[in-house]
């Protein structure tokens, strides 16, 4: 059997027991200390007498104790489900029930805290999908999708997939002993496979962001500066917070050598300021999904001050196969537009509930070498003459109004091109005459004088008449976010009071 993450971590702890593995709440936790914590957690797990043939559910906020508990599960070769701690208790119970969790456990606070029962127990009324049809021998992590279309899907990841990914990430972003990597994402987010698990496997140091302070720009800026962080990976929200926090002070982060934007498209206004914020860093955009992990990458050349109108998602990573298909499922050869399908060596073999695979994991011929299972991303991309891919929208972000099919993401991208726009979301709202109309919510730069008329003038010539928002709302607070930092369109209320709507 190949070595697990826990094995690699144990080797690092033996080589460099005094080296810092984690920075948390102003203190360093060495590899030796974290290994001791993981060993205690392992013994406590074993003492619980959990069913040997069942996974365990983890209910844990980000902390050193939670990381030690995950290492304990990996050491025990026990599959575990790690969902977002922010999900409703009813949803968590259903997910734990679907995963067939024998028990839900949580780490107690503090280095001497014991592993104990979680606050939520598995819902025994939920039909368990365990054991999966393909067997249980190659499952380690079980993450979940966002659940934007209902109950989140459970995504099992094999040790082999994690091994391939962590090796690639360590090499690509030069993560090794002594490298300090910021971990901004919540513990359940797949970005942690780079931030935390690649770093610990490679002997680096993870600088953990306290999720209770994740929207405090000053705290984030101090954390990066004080710890001389080398690698920063995050959704665009972090960069916006850092830009705002350093606007008056002029603070910079010269220690950072690698900057990675991911998880959502970064606004051009934020992208343009990254070279000034991180003067010594290479800047990458990385594209991926929970189901496939990272699959595309683009390195920006921002030296001339020019920002691309559409942020490229880039070219496929080594050993990744990307296909573009039209609406009929036919391959788009050369330049053209269609849905992106990807196969990666890091991907899941399918959802835990195999019934949810249909239409999402699809078989395609692989250049005459047989069949491969590709993941349909739902993203509409444009392949340019040089093979570079840009994101054009999503198949599920198309709406019809007055009989015309419109992409809300196309409208968002057009509005984002205005230099005073910080954030924007466009949603469809019911309309008696047209069926639906577009409503845009825009956060502009403070004191810019930006209003609804500014938006309309900006969009003339950029959008067709049928793509113009029916209403525009200018806001002064950041748009609502999901637990992973993406704009949460489900929490954007449709316009009720016309006095709040410009245009």
Percent of the chain with pLDDT strictly greater than 70: 91
Write out pLDDT tens, residues 184-239. Answer: 999 999 999 999 999 999 999 999 999 999 999 999 999 999 999 999 999 998 99
Distance, in Å, from the CA atom of 84 to the CA atom of 303, rounded to the nearest integer, reads 38
Closest CA to 420 of 224, 270, 303: 270
Sorted by where each starts, the structural domains of the chain and their CATH numbers stand as: 319-345+352-393 (2.30.38.10), 402-500 (3.30.300.30)
Closest CA to 27 of 222, 227, 195: 227
pLDDT of the residue at 174: 98
Pairing, β 258-261 against β 231-234: parallel
Long-range Cβ contacts of 318-326 (<8 Å, 24+ apart) = 318/168, 319/344, 319/345, 320/295, 320/296, 320/344, 320/345, 321/366, 321/372, 321/374, 322/295, 322/296, 322/389, 323/364, 323/374, 324/381, 324/383, 324/389
CB neighbour class for 352 (10 Å; exposed up to 12, middle 13-18, buried from 19)? buried
pLDDT of the residue at 110: 54
Distance, in Å, from the CA atom of 30 to the CA atom of 17, rounded to the nearest integer, reads 6
Distance, in Å, from the CA atom of 297 to the CA atom of 284, rounded to the nearest integer, reads 7
Longest dimension (CA), the chain: 70
pLDDT of the residue at 464: 78
pLDDT of the residue at 267: 84
Residue 467's pLDDT band (cuts 50, 70, 90): confident
Write out pLDDT tens, residues 298-322. Answer: 999 998 888 887 889 999 999 999 9
Distance, in Å, from the CA atom of 405 to the CA atom of 88, rounded to the nearest integer, reads 34
What mean pLDDT do residues 391-411 have?
72
- What angle in degrees, to the nearest 10, is found between the helix axes of 5-15 and 159-172? 50
DSSP string, 274-342: HHHHSTT-EEEEEEEETTTEEEEEEE---TTS---SS-EEEEEPTT-EEEEE-TTS-B--SSEEEEEEE
SS3 (DSSP) at 188: coil
Distance, in Å, from the CA atom of 256 to the CA atom of 22, rounded to the nearest integer, reads 17
Residue 58, C-beta contacts closer than 8 angstroms, at least 6 positions apart: 66, 69, 70, 73, 80, 81, 82, 104, 105, 106, 118
Per-residue tokens: 400: 């019809």
Percent of the chain with pLDDT strictly greater than 90: 68
Distance, in Å, from the CA atom of 321 to the CA atom of 118, rounded to the nearest integer, reads 40
CA dihedral over 134, 136, 140, 141, signed as positive or negative? positive
What mean pLDDT do residues 231-256 have?
93
Closest CA to 468 of 411, 412, 420, 404: 411
Residue 404's pLDDT band (cuts 50, 70, 90): low
pLDDT of the residue at 395: 72
- For residues 411 and 401, the answer to whether their CB atoms sit within 8 Å is no
Residue 365 backbone dihedrals phi, psi, to 5 degrees? -65, 145
Distance, in Å, from the CA atom of 127 to the CA atom of 258, rounded to the nearest integer, reads 44
Distance, in Å, from the CA atom of 82 to the CA atom of 67, rounded to the nearest integer, reads 11
Residue 294's pLDDT band (cuts 50, 70, 90): very high
Torsion angle of alpha carbons 391, 484, 350, 165, nearest 10°?
80
pLDDT of the residue at 70: 97
Task: Determine which of 73-77, 325-329, 409-413 has the lowest per-residue pLDDT on average.
Answer: 409-413
- What angle in degrees, to the nearest 10, is found between the helix axes of 64-75 and 5-15? 120
pLDDT of the residue at 34: 98
Per-residue tokens: 198: 């690649």
Distance, in Å, from the CA atom of 230 to the CA atom of 224, rounded to the nearest integer, reads 9
Write out pLDDT tens, residues 7-57. Answer: 999 999 999 999 999 999 999 999 999 999 999 999 999 998 888 889 999
Write out pLDDT tens, residues 50-92. Answer: 888 899 999 999 999 999 999 999 999 999 999 999 888 999 9
In Å, how far are 133, 223, 321, 450 from 374, measured between CA atoms? 19, 40, 9, 44
Distance, in Å, from the CA atom of 481 to the CA atom of 35, rounded to the nearest integer, reads 35
Radius of gyration (C-alpha) of the chain in whole angstroms = 23
DSSP string, 73-129: HHHTT--EE---TTS-HHHHHHHHHHTT-SEEEEEPSSTTPPEEE-SS---TTSPP-
- For residues 310 and 337, the answer to whether their CB atoms sit within 8 Å is no
| Residue-averaged pLDDT of the chain | 89
Is the peptide bond between 131 and the residue preceding it cis, with omega within 30 degrees of 0? Answer: yes
Write out pLDDT tens, residues 115-161. Answer: 888 889 999 989 999 988 766 668 999 999 876 556 899 999 999 99
CA dihedral over 104, 73, 163, 28, signed as positive or negative? positive
Residue 6's pLDDT band (cuts 50, 70, 90): very high
- For residues 183 and 224, the answer to whether their CB atoms sit within 8 Å is no
| pTM for this model (two decimals) | 0.83
Distance, in Å, from the CA atom of 29 to the CA atom of 7, rounded to the nearest integer, reads 19
Closest CA to 186 of 61, 92, 71: 61
């Amino acid at each position: 059997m190949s070595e697990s993450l826990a094995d690699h971590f144990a080797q690092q702890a033996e080589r460099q027991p005094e080296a810092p593995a984690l920075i948390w709440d102003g203190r360093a936790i060495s590899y030796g200390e974290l290994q001791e914590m993981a060993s205690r957690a392992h013994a406590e797990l074993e003492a619980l007498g959990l069913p040997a043939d069942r996974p365990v559910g983890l209910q844990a906020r980000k902390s050193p104790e939670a990381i030690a508990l995950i290492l304990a599960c990996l050491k025990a070769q026990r599959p575990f489900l790690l969902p977002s701690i922010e999900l409703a208790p009813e949803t968590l119970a259903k997910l734990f029930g679907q995963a067939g969790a024998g028990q839900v456990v949580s780490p107690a606070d503090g280095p001497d805290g014991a592993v104990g029962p979680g606050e939520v127990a598995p819902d025994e009324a939920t039909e368990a999908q365990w054991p999966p049809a393909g067997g249980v021998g190659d499952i380690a992590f079980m993450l979940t999708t966002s659940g934007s279309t209902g109950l989140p899907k459970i995504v099992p990841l094999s040790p082999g997939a994690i091994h391939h990914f962590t090796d690639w990430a360590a090499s690509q972003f030069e993560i090794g002993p002594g490298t300090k990597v910021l971990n901004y994402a919540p513990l359940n987010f797949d970005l942690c496979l780079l931030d935390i698990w690649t770093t610990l496997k490679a002997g680096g140091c993870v600088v953990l962001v306290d999720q209770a302070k994740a929207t405090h720009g000053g705290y984030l800026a101090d954390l990066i500066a004080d710890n001389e962080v080398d690698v920063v990976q995050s959704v665009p929200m972090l960069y916006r917070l850092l830009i705002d926090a350093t606007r008056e002070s002029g603070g910079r982060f010269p220690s950072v050598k690698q900057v990675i934007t991911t998880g959502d498209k970064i606004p051009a206004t934020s992208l343009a300021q990254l070279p000034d914020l991180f003067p010594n860093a290479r800047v990458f955009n990385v594209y991926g999904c929970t189901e496939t992990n990272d699959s595309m990458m683009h390195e920006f050349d921002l030296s001339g001050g020019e920002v691309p109108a559409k942020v490229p998602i880039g070219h496929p990573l080594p050993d990744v196969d990307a296909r573009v298909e039209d609406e009929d499922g036919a391959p788009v050869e050369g330049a053209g537009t269609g849905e992106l399908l990807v196969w990666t060596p890091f991907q899941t073999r399918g959802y835990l509930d195999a019934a949810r695979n249909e239409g999402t994991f699809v078989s395609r011929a692989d250049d005459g070498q047989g069949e491969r299972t590709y993941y349909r991303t739902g993203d509409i991309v444009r392949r340019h003459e040089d093979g570079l891919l840009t994101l054009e929208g999503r198949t599920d972000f198309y709406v019809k109004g007055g009989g015309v099919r419109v992409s809300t993401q196309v409208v968002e991208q057009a509005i984002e091109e205005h230099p005073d726009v910080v954030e924007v979301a466009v949603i469809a709202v019911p309309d008696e005459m047209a069926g639906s109309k577009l409503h845009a919510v825009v956060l502009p730069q403070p004191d810019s004088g930006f209003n609804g008329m500014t938006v309309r003038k900006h969009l003339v010539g950029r959008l067709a008449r049928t793509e113009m928002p029916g209403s525009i709302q200018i806001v002064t607070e950041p748009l609502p976010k999901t637990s992973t930092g993406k704009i949460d369109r489900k929490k954007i209320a449709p316009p009720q009071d016309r006095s709040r709507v410009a245009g």
